[in-house]
Amino acid sequence: MRIILTQAPGSPLHPATAAWGEMHRAEVRDLTDSEALFRLMAELWTDRESFLIVKYNALPACAELSLDLDVPKRLRDYFPTRSAEGCVVDELAACSQPWCLHPYPDAYTAAVRPGHLCCTRFSAQLLARLPKAVEESVEEALDDLPGQRYEERGRRHYLRVPDRLSARLRRYGVTEHIHEPGFAHFVPLEGANKLKRQALRAKGQSISGLRRAQLVDHLSRQR
- Please name each of the domains of the chain with its CATH number: 2-185 (3.90.550)
Burial of residue 93 (number of CB atoms within 10 Å: 0-12, 13-18, 19+): middle
What kind and span of H or E run contains 222?
none
Q: Note the pTM of the prediction, 2 decimals.
A: 0.76
The band of 13, judged by pLDDT with boundaries at 50, 70 and 90, is very high
Q: Cα(141)–Cα(154) distance, rounded to whole angstroms?
A: 11
| Residue 195 or residue 47, greater confidence | 47
The answer to whether residue 222 scores a pLDDT higher than 50 is: no
The predicted model gives 58-79 an average pLDDT of 57
pLDDT of residue 112: 61
Q: Where are the alpha helices (DSSP H) in 57-187?
A: 88-94, 107-112, 124-129, 133-136, 161-171
What confidence category does residue 194 fall into, taking pLDDT thresholds of 50, 70 and 90? low
pLDDT tens, residue by residue, 126-157: 999 999 999 999 999 876 554 455 556 778 99
Compute the distance between CA of residue 184 and CA of residue 217 in angstroms, rounded to an integer: 12
